[in-house]
């Protein structure tokens, strides 16, 4: 697609990967609506980026409905969804509180599902659209202390596969980006420390991949792209 013709909804875009994707798409001429759970952050980021923004918790269906109604009112149509909202904590199986496990599934899976569902209604009606789900290399292989996060990202991959099978006849491209460790607030919120930061991925790397995937001629699409740091050690 031509990026200047993109009308984009990005969830979880008040920082990190979502913010950088919004910034990059806007710089290429796209119209963008961002969302997040903190109204003050949404307003601040929308003003910084020169885009539209609305408070929305993707785990709440009414919020998702309001997000898409708002986006349609501002852009008249939508042809791209970037499903970026996500949370993560890491602990052993026996030490993982049920509420933390549930929270990851509510945001990472339920939120992805709800946004995808409402976008798909619009895209099917218009017989065109693009969905990029931000997954993780954690959706490719499990590891110790990752039960909640890894399982939720495996589920995102399952959603991507199902939507792709359903929506291709409607000219909807469903794609997934699987970043490895990216230097964002996600790391500190998850209680992890950062080492060798200069060798690690930054949000801009993922934004470039998203733009590249969308920029490909509509006759073709890239189903999945995993992004790794060359030498993070």
Residue range 140-197, pLDDT digits in tens: 999 999 999 999 999 999 999 999 999 999 999 999 999 999 988 777 676 667 777 8
What is the phi-psi region of residue 54: left when phi exceeds 0, alpha when psi lies from -120 to 50, beta otherwise? Answer: beta
Quick check: is 136 catalytic?
Answer: yes
Catalytic annotation present for 35:
no
Which residue is catalytic, options 136, 147, 152, 157? 136
Q: Where are the domains of the chain?
A: 3-227
Average pLDDT, the chain: 96
SS3 17: helix
Q: Is 91 a catalytic residue?
A: no
Which one from 35, 139, 147, 149 is the annotated catalytic residue?
149
Residue with the larger pLDDT of the pair 32 and 191: 32
Percent of the chain scored above 70 by pLDDT?
Answer: 98
Q: Which fold has domain 3-227?
A: Rossmann fold (3.40.50)
pLDDT (0 to 100) of residue 190: 66
Q: What are phi and psi of 192, to 5 degrees?
A: -105, 155
Q: Give me the pLDDT at residue 125, please.
A: 98
> Alpha-carbon distance 232 to 40, whole Å?
34
N-to-C CA span, the chain:
37
Stretch 132-145: mean pLDDT, rounded?
A: 96
pTM for this one? Answer: 0.94
Joined tokens for residue 184: 């964002």
Catalytic-labelled residue, pool 55, 147, 153, 157: 153
State residue 96's pLDDT score: 96
């Amino acid at each position: 697609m031509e990026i200047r013709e993109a009308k984009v909804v990005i969830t979880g875009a008040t920082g990190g990967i979502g913010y950088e994707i919004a910034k990059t798409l806007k710089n290429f001429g796209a119209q963008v609506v961002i969302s997040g759970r903190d109204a003050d952050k949404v307003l601040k980021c929308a003003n910084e980026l020169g885009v539209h923004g609305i408070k929305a918790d993707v785990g709440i269906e009414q919020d998702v409905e309001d997000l898409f109604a708002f986006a349609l009112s501002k852009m008249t149509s939508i042809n791209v969804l970037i499903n970026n909202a996500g949370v993560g904590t890491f602990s052993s199986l026996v030490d993982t509180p049920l509420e933390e496990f549930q929270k990851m599934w509510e945001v990472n899976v339920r939120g992805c599902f709800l946004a995808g569902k409402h976008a798909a209604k619009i895209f099917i009606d218009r017989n065109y659209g693009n969905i990029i789900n931000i997954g993780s290399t954690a959706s490719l292989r499990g590891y110790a202390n990752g039960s909640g996060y890894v399982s939720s990202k495996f589920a995102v991959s399952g959603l991507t596969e199902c939507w792709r099978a359903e929506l291709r006849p409607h000219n909807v491209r469903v794609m997934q980006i699987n970043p490895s460790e990216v230097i964002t607030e996600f790391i500190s919120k998850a209680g992890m420390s950062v080492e060798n930061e200069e060798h690690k991925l930054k949000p801009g790397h993922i934004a470039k991949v998203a733009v590249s995937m969308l920029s490909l001629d509509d006759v073709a699409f890239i189903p999945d792209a995993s992004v790794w740091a060359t030498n993070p050690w």
